[in-house]
């Protein structure tokens, strides 16, 4: 990965001198199962509704800074009020703003790796300290005791559920205890919650836990990673913080219009989500049946798989089969692990066949 030039290292803020530009590690392939996108086609009637909404959107006016029409659709989806929601340019913008508002120098993010690497990246950009409480090496279960012990010193916490890349979900009762133990806000990143079993969301704790923040995105279950739309649900005074520090026009008019149409049509996504869940179980069983692989149960639209020589296998999947999956073997605790997004039945069959060929 490239580093900043020496010239730039001397110009940027000193704490940024060691930063490495993001390398998406992207190669165009026939089958891309590397980013947990939804690879199913958008339901035709939803696509039509989105196209009509885009066609009716004037481009000459600035966007509504607070995305109020979209917020009302989202509020209806979740049974909350508009004042409980802030929309962002993808979940990523909201994660950055969360660190910007509640982190900072001399303050500490409570983090549970292996998890989404953006949290630590945004902590470094905002000069927030990170207190890592690692998951169990074998099962990836949270170390609940250590987290509760560290919580009183944390300025903010993030727990991912289902966790990316390990696939497990967090117990609601634990989040309740964590919210009581942590003086700052506790975010539960539910980017993949639609793929989890019913009742897995921590949202119903919002009433009793005024420091809970639940993160959602349209990038995964809604198959809309390209439009960049995420949102948080929290108490109104927490939302006011997100609203106060955001780039006011970060969610553009086309995104607002497309997202509102998709959320309105949300029931049309249920069959797609059901099929991904059933493909996930089929893939899990097929991979678990191979004694050379370790695969963890997942509540997301992806599976974490450990195999000898994972990095090389990923390269060969890409170069010989034109299948892209994500290599995590460099990440602490994830040696020899690949993350494979659950795709369409045809894509999944190809993954299974290619892996069988490469492991022989
Ligand atoms: C994909 C993802 C997000 C949000 O992604 P956006 O495309 O920025 O909305 C947030 N958290 C996790 C863990 C994710 O995997």
Domain that holds residue 31: 6-42+269-359
Count of domains for the chain:
2
Q: What is the mean pLDDT of the chain?
A: 97
pLDDT higher than threshold 60 for residue 155: yes
**By alpha-carbon position, which residue is closest to atom 5 of ligand 1?**
91
Domain-embedded: residue 310: yes
CATH number for the domain spanning 346: value is 3.90.1150.10
CA of 236 to the centre of ligand 1 (A): 23
Cα(333)–Cα(306) distance, integer angstroms: 11
Indicate if 349 and 243 belong to the same structural domain: no
Indicate if 102 and 12 belong to the same structural domain: no
Indicate if 75 and 173 belong to the same structural domain: yes
CATH number for the domain spanning 103: value is 3.40.640.10
State the CB neighbour count (10 A cutoff) for residue 207.
10
**By alpha-carbon position, which residue is closest to atom 2 of ligand 1?**
191
Last residue of a domain, one of 267, 288, 310: 267
CA of 91 to the centre of ligand 1 (A): 5
Mutation test of ligand 1: which of 97, 165, 219 has the most ligand atoms closer than 8 Å to its C-beta?
Answer: 219
Indicate if 122 and 90 belong to the same structural domain: yes
Indicate if 257 and 275 belong to the same structural domain: no
**Per-residue confidence at 1, pLDDT binned at 50, 70, 90?**
low
Give mean pLDDT, residues 259-272. 98
Span 182-209, pLDDT tens digits? 999 999 999 999 999 999 999 999 999 9
What is residue 174's predicted lDDT score, i.e. its pLDDT?
98
What is residue 26's predicted lDDT score, i.e. its pLDDT?
74
Indicate if 94 and 108 belong to the same structural domain: yes
What is residue 21's predicted lDDT score, i.e. its pLDDT?
79
Span 12-68, pLDDT tens digits? 999 999 888 777 667 899 999 999 999 999 999 999 999 999 999 999 999 999 999
Last residue of a domain, one of 236, 267, 298: 267
Q: What is the pTM of this model?
A: 0.97
Give mean pLDDT, residues 213-223. 98
The length of the chain is 360
pLDDT higher than threshold 70 for residue 116: yes
Ligand 1 site: residues with CB under 6 angstroms? 36, 90-92, 116, 160, 164, 189, 191, 217, 219-220, 225, 230
Q: β-pairing, 302-306 with 337-341? A: antiparallel
Last residue of a domain, one of 227, 252, 267: 267
What is residue 295's predicted lDDT score, i.e. its pLDDT?
98
């Amino acid at each position: 990965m490239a580093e900043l030039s020496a010239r730039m290292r001397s110009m940027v803020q000193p704490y940024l001198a060691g930063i490495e530009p993001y390398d998406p590690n992207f190669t165009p392939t026939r089958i891309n199962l590397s980013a947990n996108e939804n690879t199913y086609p958008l339901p035709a009637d939803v696509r039509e509704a989105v196209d009509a909404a885009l066609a009716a959107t004037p481009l000459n006016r600035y966007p509504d800074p607070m995305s109020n029409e979209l917020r009302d659709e989202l509020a209806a989806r979740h049974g909350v009020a508009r004042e409980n929601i802030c929309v962002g340019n993808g979940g990523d913008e909201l994660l950055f703003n969360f660190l910007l508002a509640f982190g900072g120098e001399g303050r500490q993010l409570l983090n549970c790796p292996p998890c989404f690497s953006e949290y630590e990246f945004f902590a470094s950009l905002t000069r927030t300290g990170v207190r890592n409480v690692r998951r169990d090496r074998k099962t990836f279960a949270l170390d609940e005791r250590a987290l509760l012990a560290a919580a009183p010193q944390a300025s903010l916490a993030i727990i991912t559920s289902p966790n990316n890349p390990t696939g497990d979900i967090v117990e609601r009762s634990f989040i309740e205890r964590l919210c009581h133990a942590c003086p700052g806000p506790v975010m539960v990143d539910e980017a993949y919650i639609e793929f989890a079993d019913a009742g897995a969301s921590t949202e119903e704790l919002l009433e009793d836990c005024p420091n809970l923040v639940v993160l959602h995105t349209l990038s995964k279950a809604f198959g809309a990673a390209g439009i960049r739309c995420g949102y948080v649900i929290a108490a109104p005074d927490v939302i006011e913080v997100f609203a106060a520090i955001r780039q006011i026009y970060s969610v553009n008019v086309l995104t607002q219009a497309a997202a509102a149409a998709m959320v309105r049509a949300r029931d049309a996504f249920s069959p797609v989500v059901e099929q991904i869940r059933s493909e996930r179980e089929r893939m899990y069983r097929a991979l678990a049946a191979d004694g050379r692989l370790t695969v963890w149960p997942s509540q997301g639209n992806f599976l974490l798989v450990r195999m000898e020589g994972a990095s090389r296998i990923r390269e060969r999947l890409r170069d010989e089969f034109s299948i892209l999956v994500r290599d995590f073997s460099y990440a602490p605790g994830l040696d020899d692990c690949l993350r494979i997004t659950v795709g369409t039945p045809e894509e999944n069959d190809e993954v299974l066949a290619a892996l069988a060929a490469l492991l022989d």
